[in-house]
Amino acid sequence: MKKHTTSEAILLLKDGTVFTGKSLGRIGTTGGELCFNTGMTGYQEIFTDPSYYGQLVVTTFSHIGNYGVQSAEVESNKVQINGLVCKEFSHHFSRKTAEGSLQDYFEKAGIVGICEIDTRALVRHIRDKGAMNGIISSDIADIDELKRKLDEVPSMAGLELASKVSTQEEYDMQPAEIKYRVAVLDLGVKRNSLINLVQRGCAVKVFPYNTPFEEMEKWNPDGYFISNGPGDPAATTMAIESVKQILDKNRPMFGICMGHQMLAQANGIATYKMHNGHRGLNHPVKNLITGFSEITSQNHGFVVDADQIKNHPEVEVTHVNLNDNTIEGIRMKGKPAFSVQYHPESSPGPHDSTYLFDDFIALLEQNK
Ligand SMILES: NC(=O)CC[C@H](N)C(=O)O
């Protein structure tokens, strides 16, 4: 068994609160916005989800690492988080299909983290005080020096991050039998969104975040998929422009998370930063059209302003969050465009919301 050395590590919060623990991953220092995820499984999907780019993820589930890592469980081709904060970090793993340990995976990816933290106390703290930046260090013990470094960590509000995670080059994915062509605007797309489209007979072409609408039109798509992605939706202006043109030309469109926020922004409806985002696998959402509820996977720190929707009669609210009544889904009246704030592509699950991909296929069929 490989021996692992751990050293003391510090987590310093923007409000001055200090937690001490042990290092995990690479020895070093890393900063970002602290956010917590309540999922009990799916840590590799979380760490590789581009929407977490630049963030320090706090896992509320107590054991992380115990089932190792495997290449089939990634949402993108690299680890996207800036750091991990957890309670028990397992250097050993037990699962037949695992290809390696989370520790080795993080070391290779250069990810710095901290474990043996009282994550319940930390989450209660952030929950009450609101999302804030933090810094983890396993090589600097001087709090004043860490404070100076923490001051350099940018605030998530106003930050454009799609450019950091989007593909540089267009690429395709195809099913055995092509029924539809879907142009994907990549603001940080998750692999499972593409898989869900391909499984339903869509040939997808993934375009960089700043591709003009006319450029995507040249490929002659049947519809557009606007992906999830990190950063402040209000700062993701190129994509807002593209969505405006998709709507102008009455093209079918489905947006997930950031893609949903783009549909709101394109209609002049603002988004704002939440006191704390929604992140986990167990968020109840009500579909106002069917009257049924669904348990959803979520990962967002911004949300569409419910009050502003009231002034836009052409936009209809289709889904609401049953915990806090925030907007979870919208659709356009008289245009083939809809979006949700949560994740129907979610892996490991839950899978209650995969019907939304079928709804998109139906929209493509109607508008063919
Ligand atoms: N998963 C996402 O697409 C997140 C969208 C946006 N960055 C937010 O935090 O709200």
Render pLDDT for 249-275 as a digit per residue (tens, 0 to 9). Answer: 999 999 999 999 999 999 999 999 999
Atom of ligand 1 nearest to the CA of 302: 10
Q: Is residue 95 part of a domain?
A: yes
- Determine, yes or no, domain membership for 156: no
State yes or no: 28 annotated in a binding site. Answer: no
Domain boundaries, position 115:
8-151
Q: Whose CA is nearest to atom 3 of ligand 1?
A: 228
Express each pLDDT in 171-225 by its tens digit: 999 999 999 999 999 999 999 999 999 999 999 999 999 999 999 999 999 999 9
Sign of CA dihedral 119, 125, 128, 131: negative
Structural domain contains residue 274: yes
CA of 231 to the centre of ligand 1 (A): 6
pLDDT digits (tens, 9 = 90+) for 50-106: 999 999 999 999 999 999 999 999 999 999 999 999 999 999 999 999 999 999 999
Q: If phi over 0 gives left and psi between -120 and 50 gives alpha, with beta otherwise, what is residue 280?
A: left
The answer to whether residue 328 is catalytic is no
13 inside domain? yes
pLDDT of residue 5: 66
User: Does 314 participate in catalysis according to the annotation?
Assistant: no
Please check whether residues 140 and 283 belong to one and the same domain.
Answer: no
Q: What is the mean pLDDT of residues 288-300?
A: 98
Do 116 and 252 sit in the same domain of this protein?
no
**Residues at CB less than 6 angstroms from ligand 1:** 51, 228-231, 233, 257-258, 277, 299-302
Q: How far is the CA of 270 from the centre of ligand 1 (A)?
A: 14
| 157 lies in some domain | no
Domain co-membership, 260 together with 169 = yes
Q: Which of 37, 80, 299, 340 maximizes ligand 1 atoms within 8 Å of its Cβ, making it the mutation to test the pocket?
A: 299
C-alpha of residue 191 to centroid of ligand 1, in Å: 16
The CATH number of residue 167's host domain is 3.40.50.880
Q: Does one domain contain both 252 and 346? A: yes
Q: Which pLDDT tens digit goes with each residue over 108-161? A: 999 999 999 999 999 999 999 999 999 999 999 999 999 999 999 999 999 999
Nearest to 113 by CA among 141, 138, 148, 147: 138
* Percentage of residues of the chain with pLDDT beyond 90: 98
Q: Are 141 and 170 found together in one domain?
A: no
How far is the centre of ligand 1, averaged over its atoms, from the C-alpha of 208 (Å)?
17
3 lies in some domain: no
- Asked if 139 and 270 sit in the same domain, the reply is no
- Give yes or no for a cis peptide into 212 (omega within 30° of 0): no
**Is 258 within any annotated ligand binding site?**
yes
In this structure, are 110 and 229 located in the same domain? no
Domain final residue pick, 151, 173, 204: 151
Residue at a domain's end among 151, 171, 201: 151
Residues 6 or more apart whose Cβ sits within 8 Å of residue 199 = 175
Residue that the structure tokens 């309670």 belong to: 87
Q: Is the domain of 59 the same as that of 202? A: no
Asked whether residue 18 carries a pLDDT value surpassing 80, the answer given is: yes
Dihedrals phi, psi of 50, to nearest 5 degrees: -60, -20
CA-closest candidate to residue 190, choices 348, 359, 32, 363: 348
Does 1 fall in a domain? no
Number of domains in the chain: 2
Assign 3-class secondary structure to the chain.
CCCCCCCEEEEEECCCCEEEEEEEECCCEEEEEEEEECCCCCHHHHHCCHHHCCEEEEECCCEECCCCECHHHCCCCCCCCCEEECCEECCCCCCCCCCECHHHHHHHHCCEEEECCCHHHHHHHHHHHCCCEEEEECCCCCHHHHHHHHHCCCCCCCCECHHHHCCCCCEEECCCCCCEEEEEEECCCCHHHHHHHHHCCEEEEEEECCCCHHHHHCCCCCEEEECCCCECHHHCHHHHHHHHHHHHCCCCEEEECHHHHHHHHHCCCCEEEEEEEEEEEEEEEEECCCCCEEEEEEEEEEEECHHHHCCCCCEEEEEEECCCCCEEEEEECCCCEEEECCCCCCCCCCCCCCHHHHHHHHHHHHCC
| 297 assigned ligand-binding residue | no
d(CA 2, CA 247): 56
Same domain, 177 and 319: yes
The pTM for the full model equals 0.97
Q: Could you tell me the CATH number of the domain that includes residue 89?
A: 3.50.30.20
* pLDDT tens digit sequence for 229-239: 999 999 999 99
Residues 73, 257, 294, 300: which is the catalytic one? 257
Residue 344's identity, in one-letter code, is P
Residue to mutate, 35, 36, 51, ligand 1, most ligand atoms under 8 Å from C-beta: 51
Q: What is the ipTM of this complex?
A: 0.98
- Active-site residue (options: 45, 294, 328, 345): 345
The strand pairing partners of 10, in sequence order, are 20, 137
Instruction: Indicate if 345 belongs to the active site.
Output: yes
Instruction: Give yes or no: residues 211 and 136 share one domain.
Output: no
Q: Name which of 224, 293, 214, 210 is nearest 256 in CA terms.
A: 224
Identity of the residue numbered 187: L
Task: Tell me the sheet residues that pair with 284.
Answer: 295
* 140 and 204 together in one domain: no
Q: Are residues 216 and 129 in the same domain?
A: no
